[in-house]
Amino acid sequence: MFQRSDPPDITITWDGRELPARSGESLATALLAAGVLSFRETPVSGAARGPLCLMGACFDCLVEVEGQQNVQACMTPVHPGLRAAPQHGVRDLPEVEAA
Amino acid sequence: MERYDVAVIGGGMVGTAIGYGCAERGARVIVLDEGDVALRAARGNFGLVWGQSKGDGMPAYGAWTRLSITLWPSLAERVSGFAGRDVCYSPVGGLTFCLSEQELAERRDFVHRRHNQGHGTVRIVDRRELLEMMPGCRLGPEVVGASYDPTDGHVDPLTLLRGLHAGLRAAGGVHLPGAPVVAIEPVGGEYRIARADGAAVMARRIVVAAGVATTRIAAMVGLDVPVRPVRGQNIVTERLAPILPKPASAIRQTGDGTIQIGVTSEDDGILETPTTTAALAKMAARAIRVLPPLASARMVRGWAALRPMTPDGFPAYAESATHPGCFVAVCHSGVTLAAVHAGPMAEAVMGGGMHALAAELHPDRFARMPIQHVPAI
C-alpha cells in the first residue's frame, strides 16, 4: 500500500513482533510502511481504527507506547528498540497517591 | 413564496425541539437557521438533564423542569431512533460535589430552599453514602459530601441535536440555514419573514428561539426579551475506563468514556468564544480534587459557547400581544427542557394555549427587574 522513499535503518517492536523503521519518522508512518493498518479498536463500537489525519488532530491512531496507553502514533518519533502495541479499548488511569 | 404553518427562527436546541414537536403534530414547519458564523450554544452543551439546581427563586421553573424530566424517557427513545445512534440518556441520579464543610453547609441550605419550593427529590449525602452509592469510586479526600437527586441524569447533547433535526425532517419539516432574519411583517393575517440573503417565507405562526440573538428578533414581533451572552468553557479528555458512575455538576463521564469538565460562567457581555488557559486550569484543578486519577488523563479539546441568559437567569416564554401567533422561547437549559419544548411548548405554538407553568415565565417580569448577574447552573 505504501512504498518507502528511503530504506529503513532501525528496528522497533510492534505487538511483540520486530518491524523495520527509519530514524526520525513517526511511529504511525513506520507502522503504515510495514503494512499495519489497524492500530486499535474503538471503545465505542469495537471496530478497527487506524490513522486518519497524521497531524495530531483526530486521535484515531492511538496505540500503547512503552506501556503508556492512548498515545498518538503520528506524534511519536521512532527510536531503535521502541516498543509499541495496539490500544485495546479505553485507557485505565493509574492509581494515584492521595494528595 | 413558500407558505408554512410554523416558522421557527433558530435551529439550535430550543428551536429545533419546538419545530420537531410542531411537525410531529402535523404542522408544516420551517426552521430558519443562521449560517455557520452563528454563536451556537447548542454546540457547547454540557449534557446534563438536571433538576436539582433549577428554579431557586422561581418555583414555576422548577416545576417546568420536573415536567420535562418526566417526559425525557420517551423523547430519548424517539430521538435515538431518528439520530440512528443512542442518545445515551442515563437517568442514574446526579451529584453536586462539595469539597469542604463550608461548601456542604451552603449546599445544605440550598437543598432546604429547594424543598421549600417544591423540589423534594434532592437531598444531601455524606461521603460514606457517596462511596456506598458508587463502590470503588476513587473520590478525592476533600470530597465531604454532595447534593444528590435520583431523578437527574445526562445525555449526549450533540446526538440529541442531530436527532431533533432528523425528527424534524422525518415529520416533513424543513431546515433552512444560511442567513439571519432581518425583518418580519404582518401580511393579511400571516407573517412575511425576510432574511439577509434575500430569501423570504410566509408563515401563520412564528417561534423566536434565536439564543443570544433573541432580543433583536423578538423586538420585530413586539416582544421585549433582554438576553445577554454568558460564556461557558468546557474540557473533554481522552476516553477512559469507567471511573465516575454518576454525572455531577461540572464533571461527568460520557457514554463513550470521555470525561467532560465544566464549566465557567463568564458574564462579560462579549460575543466571542475563546478558551483561556486560566479558566481551563481552574476547572481541571477542581475536577482533580474530586477525582484525583484525572491528574494523568489527557485533555483532547477545550471549547467555549455562549449561553443566552435572561436578567434573572430563568427561561422566558410568551405569545406576542401585538403580533398574535408569534412566540418567543429562550433559556440556557435547552437539553433538560428539550422534552417540554417538543411537547407542551409545541402544543402552545399550535394554538393549544400556553402551559400554565410556561405562562408564569412571561418576559414581562423583566420590566420590573434590574439586571442581575446570576451564575448559570
Name the grid cell of B260: 467532560
**pLDDT confidence of residue A98:** 43
* B297 CA: distance to closest CA in chain A (Å): 7
Q: How many contacts (CB atoms, under 8 Å) link A and B?
A: 43
In eight-state DSSP terms, residue A66 is T
pLDDT of residue B37: 81
Residues B144 and B243 in one domain: yes
C-alpha cell of B88? Answer: 445515551
Using CA coordinates, name the residue in chain B closest to A92.
B241
pLDDT attached to residue B36: 81
Q: Are residues B329 and B269 located together in one domain of the fold?
A: no
For chain A, say whether B292 makes contact (Cβ under 8 Å). yes
Residues on A contacting B at a C-beta cutoff of 8 Å: 43-44, 59, 62, 70, 89-96, 98-99
Task: Report pLDDT digits (tens) over B248-301.
Answer: 999 999 998 999 999 889 998 888 898 999 999 999 999 999 999 999 999 999
Per-residue pLDDT of chain B in tens (377 residues, 90 and over written 9): 899 999 999 999 999 999 999 999 999 999 999 988 888 888 889 999 999 999 999 999 999 999 999 999 999 999 999 999 999 999 999 999 999 999 999 999 999 999 999 999 999 999 999 999 999 999 999 999 999 999 999 999 999 999 999 999 999 999 999 999 999 999 999 999 999 999 999 999 999 999 999 999 999 999 999 999 999 999 999 999 999 999 999 999 999 899 999 988 999 888 889 899 999 999 999 999 999 999 999 999 999 999 999 999 999 999 999 999 999 999 999 999 999 999 999 999 999 999 999 999 999 999 877 666 555 55
Q: Which of A93, A73, A52 is CA-nearest to residue B136?
A: A93
* pLDDT value, residue B297: 94
Domain boundary (B282, B309, B336) is at B309
Residues in B 294-333 with any Cβ partner in A closer than 8 A: 294-298, 300
B172 neighbors B166 (Cβ within 8 angstroms): no
The string of pLDDT tens digits covering residues A15-73 is 999 999 999 999 999 999 999 999 999 988 899 999 999 999 999 999 999 999 999 99
H helices of B171-250, in order, are 214-218
Domain boundary residue among B290, B309, B328? B309
Farthest-apart Cα atoms in chain B, separation: 67
Domains (range + CATH), chain A: 10-88 (3.10.20.440)
Give the pLDDT of residue B161: 97
A56: left (phi over 0), alpha (psi -120 to 50) or beta: left
State the pLDDT at residue B370: 66
| SS3 (DSSP) at B29 | strand
Among B127, B239, B286, most A C-beta atoms within 10 A, so best to mutate, is B239
The cell for B333 is 437549559
B375 in a domain, yes or no? Answer: no
Residue B377, in any domain of the structure: no
Whether B238 has its CB under 8 Å from any CB of chain A: the answer is yes
Distance CA B10, CA B227 (A): 15
Closest partner CB to A70 (pick from B138, B295, B298):
B298
Looking at the structure, tell me whether residues B235 and B142 fall in a common domain: yes
| Total-model pTM | 0.91
For chain B, the domain total comes to 2
Q: Cβ contact (<8 Å) for A70 and B293?
A: no
Q: Choose the final residue of a domain: B268, B284, B309.
A: B309
- The verdict on residue B59 lying in a domain is yes
| For helices B157-170 and B59-83, angle between their N-to-C axes, nearest 10 degrees | 70
Contact state of A96 with B241 under an 8 Å Cβ cutoff: no
CA distance A78 to chain B (A): 21
Q: Which of A59, A90, A96 sits opposite B295 (nearest CB)?
A: A96
Give the CATH number of the domain where residue B193 resides. 3.50.50.60
Reported ipTM: 0.80
Same domain, yes or no, for B69 and B178? yes
- Among the partner-chain residues B238, B292, B294, the one whose CB lies closest to the CB of A70 is B238
B11 is in which domain, residue-wise? 3-82+157-226+311-368
In this predicted structure, what is the pLDDT of residue B369?
A: 74
**Same domain for B324 and B196:** yes
